[in-house]
Amino acid sequence: MFSNCRIAPIMRLCSRHMTAVCALLLLSCLSFGKAIADEPPTRPLLRVETGTHNGVIKDLAVDAKETFFVTCSQDGTLRIWDLVSGDLQKTLRVPYGNGDGMLYTVAISPDGKQIATSGLTGYMWDMSVCIYLFDRATGELTKRITGLPNAVQILRYSPDGKYLAAGFAGSDGLRILHAEDGTEALADKEYNGDCIGLDYRSDGVLAVAAIDGFIRLYKPDLKLATRQKAPGGTHPHGVAFSPDGDKLAVGFGDTKNINVLATKDLSLLYAPATDDIKTSSAAFDEVAWSADGKQLFAAGRTGLVRNGTALRLIRRYENGGKGKFTDIGASGETITALRPLKLGPTLYAAGDPLWGVLDGDKARLFEAPTVDMRTTTFLLSDDASVVQFSVLPGDIATVRFNAAERKLETGIANTSEIAAAKGKADGLHPAIIGVPGLVITNYENEMHPKVNGHPIALSANEDSRCLAILPDHKQFLLGCDFGLRLFNADGSVVWSLPTPGIVWQINVSKDGQKGVALLNDGTLRWFRIKDSTLLLTLFPL
């Protein structure tokens, strides 16, 4: 039914509950199937602009004078915000499409004039990854540093602005570039896992965390000074020097542990208390110190339940991590960045997507005006032309969209049970999640899904979120934090599709040819199952 679509008009359908902006596109030119080396795209791309991010916010950076900050997202945008008012100053966009352009990290030069960003960027036209450099005042893209070997996980400027350090995915390690021209000053490839945490001390010493289990320190002259296994886990993630430079806090992606190490030799000084946390998937990926060093902050995938709502927390320790702690609910999804300010409050970013300000024991959230797609009532017609899904917390309302008729109905039902019953009566079906001989376990909000008892490989620190087994029972789809994947029944990967947000729900047509995914960027996306080609996108506001 979608094969004859090209570009349909943007539609606005109003009701008491919802306005839907529906961009209907056949994106054959943006197929995720294979990469072709080319120039970055220059034609305009149709994008929904909400005034904030609509994909996972992966990182944030604050200028040295604390007048503005920058967030980056898997939606392919950088956004510059006023630090006092919280107002959006400017939106910067990178070439985006074919799964390319998702931003994982951002850094601001010490003088505040240059912004560097990267992630999964540039591969579709260069066949290698690039770093984008922007002029902060004008928003102009001034340079691309090209020829990089893998996705860039993290970027940080040295305190003197001379260097730009880049940590890579896989075993491609660390590169330190001359900030002025992007030429290479150091390449250390002696890594066996994502280089995912960087922090510079005021004197230019660089701390690096990688999921090969090691913490590394590099001298200001770029020579490796120390390399030690982190005692708290096998996947050290975030690292942060204390203001006096004598201590290094380490957070982990695979355990709830936090370590504070001596920077002279990376020996363990102490481990802040985490014994109260009983959830096996909990992790404090990010760590940060207050400006005076008296408080230690930690956050990530560790949560609490408050008034019946599950929240990711920020834990604030007194006495540099040795004292009592306070837990503050700050987000519905993984907290990806922590930046305490000299003035007292703490900035943070999360995957909802949102950024927030922690001031004392209260968190103020700045969220996108997107629908929360963590629905329990996602139904699909046999030909995938009609979808039904919940749009508000607690299943207050359920809506139905008919793609063939370009029609959105609201108020279908006010509880998930009634909505599901009505949907099934109208010929809609839920996703298949269990069949004889194909047993998928640990697929719902777990890091280690299994097929018939055998582990399924995902990216490091990635959760599986949802499952849909194809009607022939020979393949299945997993929706995950970083994308959508099609597997054979033996667990081998058929294809992997990067997405600009977490895949919360998936469902499949009765003939097994089309699928629909609900993402945390607030979109529904129809795709062709055999090759992952994107067919249609619905954005309900």
Q: Are strands 206-210 and 195-200 parallel, antiparallel or unpaired?
A: antiparallel
CA-to-CA distance for 431 and 377, rounded, in angstroms? 10
Determine whether 366 is exposed, middle or buried from the number of CB atoms within 10 Å of its CB (0-12, 13-18, 19+). Answer: middle
Nearest Cα residue to 55 out of 372, 520, 464: 520
Nearest alpha carbon to residue 358 among 307, 304, 312: 312
Tokens describing residue 236: 């050290």
Name the residue type at position 104: Y
pLDDT of residue 98: 61
17 in Cβ contact with 411 (< 8 Å): yes
d(C-alpha 185, C-alpha 221), whole Å: 10
According to the model, what pLDDT value does residue 39 have?
Answer: 64
Q: What is the per-residue pLDDT for 371?
A: 80
DSSP 359-410: ETTEEEEEE-S------S--EE-TTS-EEEEE-SGGG--EEEEETTTTEEE-
Listed residue (300, 293, 350) closest to 327, CA to CA: 300
For the chain, the distance separating the N- and C-terminal CA atoms, rounded to the nearest angstrom, is 25
* Per-residue pLDDT at 461: 65
Q: Is 512 left (phi over 0), alpha (psi -120 to 50) or beta?
A: left
CB 269 within 8 A of CB 260: yes
Of 107, 25, 124, 29, the C-alpha closest to 70 is 107
Q: Where are the alpha helices (DSSP H) in 416-493?
A: 416-425
Pairing status of strand 503-508 against strand 296-306: unpaired
Instruction: Report pLDDT for 31.
Output: 31
Element (H, E) at 269: strand 268-270
Residue 321 DSSP symbol = G
Per DSSP bridges, beta strands 286-289 and 88-93 are unpaired
Q: In the prediction, which pLDDT does 321 show?
A: 97
pLDDT 10s per residue in the chain (541 long)? 222 222 222 222 223 334 444 433 333 223 333 333 456 667 776 677 888 998 889 999 999 999 999 999 988 999 999 999 999 999 999 987 666 788 999 999 999 999 999 998 988 778 889 999 999 999 999 999 999 999 999 999 999 999 999 999 999 999 999 999 999 999 999 999 999 999 999 999 999 999 999 999 999 999 999 999 999 999 999 999 999 999 999 999 999 999 999 999 999 999 999 999 988 889 999 999 999 999 999 999 998 876 666 789 999 999 999 999 999 999 988 999 999 999 889 999 998 889 999 999 999 989 877 787 877 789 999 999 999 988 765 545 788 999 999 998 887 876 777 778 888 888 999 999 999 999 999 999 888 899 999 999 887 668 899 999 999 999 999 999 888 999 999 999 999 988 877 899 999 999 999 999 999 888 899 999 999 999 999 988 7
Q: Are 498 and 120 in contact (CB under 8 A)?
A: yes
Decide: 357 and 350 in contact? Cβ < 8 Å: no
The enclosing H or E element of 125 equals: helix 123-126
pLDDT of residue 99: 63
Structure tokens at 50: 């909400």
Q: Which residues lie below 8 Å from residue 182, measured CB to CB, with a gap of 6+?
A: 131, 133, 143, 145, 164
Sort strands 286-289 and 296-306 into parallel, antiparallel or unpaired: antiparallel
250 neighbors 258 (Cβ within 8 angstroms): yes
Going by C-alpha positions, the residue among 521, 498, 408, 401 that lies closest to residue 49 is 521
Distances (CA, A) of 139 to 91, 114, 133, 376, 447: 8, 10, 10, 41, 38
8-state DSSP, 431: P
Instruction: Compute how many other C-beta atoms are within 10 angstroms of the C-beta atom of residue 171.
Output: 16
Cis peptide before 231 (omega within 30 of 0): no
Q: Is 161 left (phi over 0), alpha (psi -120 to 50) or beta?
A: left
User: How confident is the model at residue 5, as a pLDDT?
Assistant: 28
| Alpha-helix residue ranges (DSSP H) falling in 407-511 | 416-425
**d(Cα 220, Cα 201) in Å, to the nearest integer?**
10
Hey, what are 289's tokens? 């110190």
Alpha-carbon dihedral 164, 285, 480, 191, rounded to 10 degrees:
50
Q: What are phi and psi of 49, to 5 degrees?
A: -110, 115
The residue among 166, 156, 154 whose CA lies nearest residue 201 is: 156
DSSP 3-state assignment of 267? Answer: coil
Instruction: Round to whole Å and give the CA distance between 122 and 342.
Output: 36
Reported residue count of the chain is 541
- Please name every residue paired with 122 in a beta bridge, in sequence order, or none if there are none: none
